[in-house]
Chain A
Amino acid sequence: MTLLEVRDLHVDFHTRDGIVKAVNGVNYQVEAGETLAVLGESGSGKSVTAQAVMGILDMPPGRIPKGEILFHGEDMLTMSKEERRKIRGARIAMIFQDALSSLNPVLSVGYQLAEMFRVHQGASRKEAKAKAVELMDRVKIPAAKARVSDYPHQFSGGMRQRIMIAMALALEPDLIIADEPTTALDVTVQAQVMELLADLQREFNMGLILITHDLGVVADVADKIAVMYAGRIVETAPVKELYKAPAHPYTKGLLESIPRLDQKGKELYAIQGLPPNMAKVPDGCAFHPRCPVARDVCRSELPPLAEVGEGRGSACHFWKETLGE
């Protein structure tokens, strides 16, 4: 059975300026041991989708008018609060971008790690603390035993992110959602953290949803990729095929705007214009005002996510041309 399946998910936010449709019919699947990268710019709905899966969306102002989130085949959106709470943290865990603001500054990291075992498993203080040390060892924090009583500010950025990973792993979840886990870190530390995450995923055969805007990180670790734009998935593909031949002009533009060696001294390819205001998404294909191949049909008709190959989809009227070039 599929580990996680998101079906036709919609998320709205009620604001003073009207209803903002942040997510408009997103579908994706993650199997055990698989890494799905969700790529998108700020405001594309990638984090909101993840929050809906995790069950930490602020409602209100958020609302899920439509959709299903199947975890081991069961729809989490129809579950009671108690049932969801048992899944959250224990079966599905999340790693956030900013470790410093995600950890409680007035509690030691050991206490925060141990809390997981005490709340979810009813472990005693002593047991829980021993398990916390074990976890810190597992994420390769040097001298774990001596540092278990230290506070978050006493750790470096990379070490704090390791503690976040330890916390997510604590109850051996089936699925981890990592929202920009390395964006705030330096490149050399980023490499360490991504390697650790990949090793642990293999060891526990977990599903991983990696939310990011970094095309480099995606190429490195993902199996398949979903590109989001203005609340919709515009392209899905196995990672190698997407980089070789993108089937949506937005993906193509993103890949082309990365500086390459042979472009030195020349103008970089740049996608024109700006990401849309989510309160006023353009009609038809949301990307059409910025798209180099847009025609009349793009302004009026919303392109469906069409199948363009094995395990590949593109929401573009002219995917054939985009692929063909």
Chain B
Amino acid sequence: MSEESQRTEQTERREPILEVRDLVKHFPLTQGVLFKRQVGAVKAVDGISFDLYPGETLGIVGESGCGKSTVAKLLMNLEAPTSGTIRYKGEDITKLSGRALKAVRRNIQMVFQDPYTSLNPRMTVGDIIGEPFDIHPEVAPKGDRRRKVQELLDVVGLNPEYVNRYPHQFSGGQRQRIGIARGLALRPEIIVADEPVSALDVSVQAQVVNLMERLQDEFGLSYMFIAHDLSIVRHISDRVGVMYLGKMAEIGSDEEIYEHPTHPYTQALLSAVPVPDPEAEGRRERIVLEGDVPSPANPPSGCRFRTRCWKAEARCAEEVPLLAIPTPFEKAESGVAHPSACHFAEERAAVVAA
């Protein structure tokens, strides 16, 4: 057994730190100025369940509009879900408010995509990283804060003397390090990172990915790593979930998703990623999907992917496929035995993963 599958098994036996069940977020569409009537809803997230285990990285991939960022906001309690539960160590955080919510929030922090707009240009780096201590003074007493901030700067690989500089004096990669330092300030257990490297230059992306991995080992963090770059997600994740139009299409260990994808969308997504190797590029078979992602305000009936799927049949329009291990693979030994929401789930030989 490979080292990875052992690692996955170990995580499986532990208690999840975060349990998400049937999470739904609909944004109402209204009409009328004075008397607002609801005429529909954007179904951004429409029934999603997953677990996050201590010390693991769960990667979430999907195209724009699939709801991955909304999931991040729901986990952070920045948006209230329409229905469903998010249990943090057994406690449903969607029902919390006041002091109890504040206590939970300390443990779930976020790193944002755009290091240019997520740092206040009029605050010094010291104030930005130290701001969480104003809200949670129990973590660092007043006199101790400057030292703590400098420690954090050191941890993320920035010169501690930069504490009085402003964000515009830093490059994109350095700013992302500041964002990560702020996320770490309260010693959280979970970090939700929404596209943390996509705005960075290629040569700097690897530095930030390495930093995040090092911090995970050092502080025992759990990551929810949202990104559209499939090769980076594979590198950093223990498990990967693929989202499409507000639903989870497929979820499994990195090997199961990348080597044995059984959902047609995952297969198309993997085959569409350009591979930085001209020789492999000529060999592999590419699935080019027709059309665009449908509007989440009016998703297709049944399986949401059916409008772009080459396998779709009448059944796909009527029945919503459930996210479960497909029946033919239930007893399979190889990586195909993982949840996939497709009526016709099967392995495809020619998919070369990124």
Given contacts A240-B278, A258-B276, contact A41 B202 (CB under 8 A): yes
- Chain B binding surface SS class: helix
Given contact pairs A213-B202, A215-B202, enumerate 13 new A-B contacts (beta carbons under 8 Å): A158-B292, A187-B269, A187-B273, A213-B201, A215-B276, A219-B281, A254-B202, A259-B235, A268-B235, A272-B207, A274-B173, A274-B204, A275-B204
Contact with B along A240-272 (1 / 0, CB 8 A): 100100000000011101111101110111111
Contacts of B174 in A (CB 8 A): 274
Q: Are A265's CB and B4's CB within 8 A? A: yes
Can you name the residue of chain A whose Cβ is closest to the Cβ of B214?
A: A267
- The yes or no answer to A159 lying at the interface (CB within 8 A) is yes
**CB-based contact B203/A239 at 8 Å:** no
Q: What are 22 inter-chain pairs, A to B, with CB distance below 8 A?
A: A187-B63, A187-B228, A187-B230, A187-B273, A188-B268, A189-B292, A191-B288, A192-B288, A216-B273, A219-B274, A219-B275, A243-B277, A243-B279, A264-B254, A265-B4, A267-B213, A268-B210, A271-B206, A274-B204, A275-B171, A275-B201, A275-B203
Q: In the docked arrangement, what's the CA distance between A186 and B68, Å?
A: 14
Shortest B50–chain A CB gap in Å is 21
Q: Which of A187, A219, A269, A271 contacts B277 (CB 8 A)?
A: A219
Tally inter-chain residue pairs, CB-CB below 8 A.
Answer: 117
- Residues from 167 to 199 in B contacting A, C-beta threshold 8 Å: 171-174
Given contacts A188-B269, A188-B272, A188-B289, contact A257 B202 (CB under 8 A): yes
| Chain B residues whose CB sits within 8 angstroms of the CB of A41 once the complex forms | 201-203
3 nearest interchain CB pairs?
A: A216-B274, A259-B235, A270-B206
Bound CA span A194–B273, Å: 12
- A264 CA to B209 CA, complexed, in Å: 12
**Count of A interface residues, CB-CB < 8 Å:** 46
Separation of A114 and B173 alpha carbons in the complex (Å): 43
Q: Which residues on the B side are within 8 Å of A259 (C-beta)?
A: 209, 231-232, 234-235
Cross-interface CB contact of A186 among B63, B210, B354, cutoff 8 Å: B63
Contacts of B269 in A (CB 8 A): 187-188
A214 touches B278 (CB 8 A): no
Q: Mark B203-233, 1 if CB is under 8 A from A, else 0.
A: 1111101100110000000000000101110
Chain B residue nearest in CB terms to A39: B202
C-beta contact mask, A183-219 vs B, less than 8 Å → 1, else 0? 0001111111011000000000000000001111111
| A interface secondary structure, majority | helix
Q: Are A219 and B276 in contact (CB under 8 A)?
A: yes
Q: How far is the CA of A264 from the CA of B281 in the complex (A)?
A: 22
For the complex, is B286 an interface residue (Cβ under 8 Å from A)?
Answer: yes
Which residues of A are found within 8 Å of B273, using beta-carbon distances?
187, 216
Q: Is B64 an interface residue (CB 8 A)?
A: yes
Neighbouring A residues of B210 by C-beta, 8 Å: 267-268, 270
Contact partners of B275 in chain A: CB under 8 A: 216, 219-220
Max chain A C-beta neighbours (<10 A), residue from B63, B276, B289, B293: B276
Taken residue by residue from 81 to 123, chain A's Cβ proximity to chain B (1 for < 8 Å, 0 otherwise) reads as 0000000000000000000000000000000000000000000
Q: How far is the CA of A290 from the CA of B205 in the complex (A)?
A: 15
A42 at the interface (CB under 8 A from B): yes
Chain B residues within 8 Å of A149, by CB: none
B292 touches A156 (CB 8 A): yes
Q: Which residue among A214, A258, A272, A275 has the maximum number of chain B CB atoms within 10 Å of its CB? A: A258
- Rounded to whole angstroms, the CA-CA distance of A189 and B235 in the bound complex is 23
CA distance A261 to B232 in the complex (A): 11
- A263–B254 Cα distance when bound, in Å, is 13
Is the pair B201, A255 in contact by a Cβ cutoff of 8 Å? no
Q: How far is the CA of A219 from the CA of B288 in the complex (A)?
A: 17
Residues in chain B near residue A269, CB distance under 8 A: 206
Cα distance, A26 to B99, chains bound together (Å): 61
Partner of A214, one of B203, B235, B272, B274: B274
A290 to B207, CA, bound (A): 13
B208: shortest Cβ distance to chain A, in Å? Answer: 9
Please name all residues of chain A whose beta carbon is closer than 8 Å to the beta carbon of B354 when the two chains form the complex: 216
Which residues on the B side are within 8 Å of A194 (C-beta)? 274
* Distance of A188 Cα from B307 Cα, bound (Å): 14
A42 to B199, CA, bound (A): 11
Q: Residue among B201, B214, B254, B288 with the most chain A CB within 10 A?
A: B201
Q: How far is the CB of A281 from chain B (nearest CB, A)?
A: 15
CA distance A215 to B172 in the complex (A): 20
